[in-house]
Amino acid sequence: MSARKRKIRVDFKKNRGKRSRAGHEWREAVRQDQTDDLNADERISGKGNLSRKRTVIAEESEDGELIASLDVDVKDCLTGRVLSIVGSHQCRVQSEDGRVHVCAVRQVLRTLMKESRNTVVAGDIVLFEPLGDAQGMIHRVEPRRGTLGRGNDRNQQLIVVNVDLAVIVVTGVSPHFKPSLIDRFLISCEKGNVSPVICINKSDLFNYRELLPIVGQYANLGYPVVLTSAHTGYGIDQLREIIAGRQTVFSGQSGVGKTSLLNMIQPGLALKTSQVSIDSGKGRHTTRTATLQALEFGGWVVDTPGIRQLRLWDVGREEVEGHFIEFLPLVRYCKYPNCMHIHEQQCGIRDAVAAGLISARRYDSYLKILNDDES
């Protein structure tokens, strides 16, 4: 189905104008008969700061995102892909011929997309005008697909766009294993139409049998699970086979080994890594911004900064149960149609947890998400 188009009024920067004179100054000048001394081009009562507006045509996608359809001379522009964000309003863009430009973002785009924290995101396909000396100006952002994001204050923060696969990297040791974070990532992937893969790294540092119940739990639910070790190389070939020819993002907590895994998958990347803090047991932020890298065996991969907490975006409390696929066949046994499965009597979900049909860990994650508890 084609995107719907509609007109939108867009704010521009505020006009600069002289500060209007306060009314009491005029009255005092009249009282003292000194009006000749006043500047004739000043207003008695100014209109204040004025805003300029412009009407643009925007395409509204199925998820409600607005993509500006601005007047652009396509003959003077190139199509490229955003590799990384540089500063607040600039990014590195690789054109189809392989050249990399540092591009600014057109003001009207930043205004139109003010509802989102990101005007341009790693992975975006953009139309930009080369300005010489490897510089450029982005005029248009093409419609997005396959997004991974999170909530930030009142806006959505997109981590990466236009990806097929998300490798959710966790460990069985340091930093602390957080099943609830996996579940939040799974929901975020489902919301963004991205296929998830759970990767448990540092398998050389823990007893596999201890995590076997969790591995089996996710595998039984249909989620692919891969055990790897960036130190010994265990599972790297399997992971390389999964991401070959695809657009993939590696995401997870700081210190789980995302960058180390990528260096093992393709040693030529030579990405910077660091160790987990001994004092806190948490990972250090080594990767500062999401960065696209081309893979020798086909496809692209995105290394992202570590995420210690993941706040879900645009997921209402009543929607959460729908993202726990093991809940779906058992909801019909709840007495109340609006049952939230917290304390209600004759609840099919709570009975299933007590009977061992639903994992207590997954149910605990469900409750934490309902209560917006990110621990």
- The pTM assigned to this predicted structure is 0.78
Domains and their CATH numbers in the chain:
4-60 (no CATH), 70-141 (2.40.50.140), 148-303 (3.40.50.300), 317-370 (1.10.40.50)
In sign, the C-alpha dihedral spanning 119, 124, 125, 128 is positive
Q: What is the pLDDT of residue 276?
A: 47
Task: Summarize pLDDT for 154-198 with one digit per residue, the tens.
Answer: 778 889 999 999 999 998 776 677 888 999 999 999 999 999 999
Alpha helices for 60-178 (secondary structure H): 107-112
Task: Summarize pLDDT for 121-152 with one digit per residue, the tens.
Answer: 999 999 999 998 999 999 888 989 999 988 87
Query: What gap in Å lies between CA 291 and CA 358, rounded to an integer?
Result: 38
Extract the annotated binding site for Zn(2+): 334, 339, 341, 347
Query: What gap in Å lies between CA 308 and CA 254, rounded to an integer?
Result: 7
Extract the annotated binding site: 201-204, 252-260, 334, 339, 341, 347
β-strand 78-86 against 155-160: which pairing, if any?
A: unpaired
Which of 16-25, 142-151, 205-214, 306-315 reaches the highest mean pLDDT? 142-151
For residue 175 the two structure tokens come to: 């930093």
Q: How far is CA 39 from the centre of its chain?
A: 53
pLDDT band at 222 (very low <50, low <70, confident <90, very high): very high
Q: What is the pLDDT of residue 357?
A: 94
3-state SS track over 193-223? CCEEEEEEECHHHCCHHHHHHHHHHHHHCCC
Number of C-beta neighbours around residue 1 at 10 A: 4
pLDDT band at 200 (very low <50, low <70, confident <90, very high): very high
Q: What is the pLDDT of residue 53?
A: 62
First to last CA, the chain: 41
For residue 43 the two structure tokens come to: 């207003």
β-strand 299-303 against 291-294: which pairing, if any?
A: antiparallel
Extract the annotated binding site for GTP: 201-204, 252-260
Query: What gap in Å lies between CA 148 and CA 248, rounded to an integer?
Result: 11
For residue 29 the two structure tokens come to: 């000048």
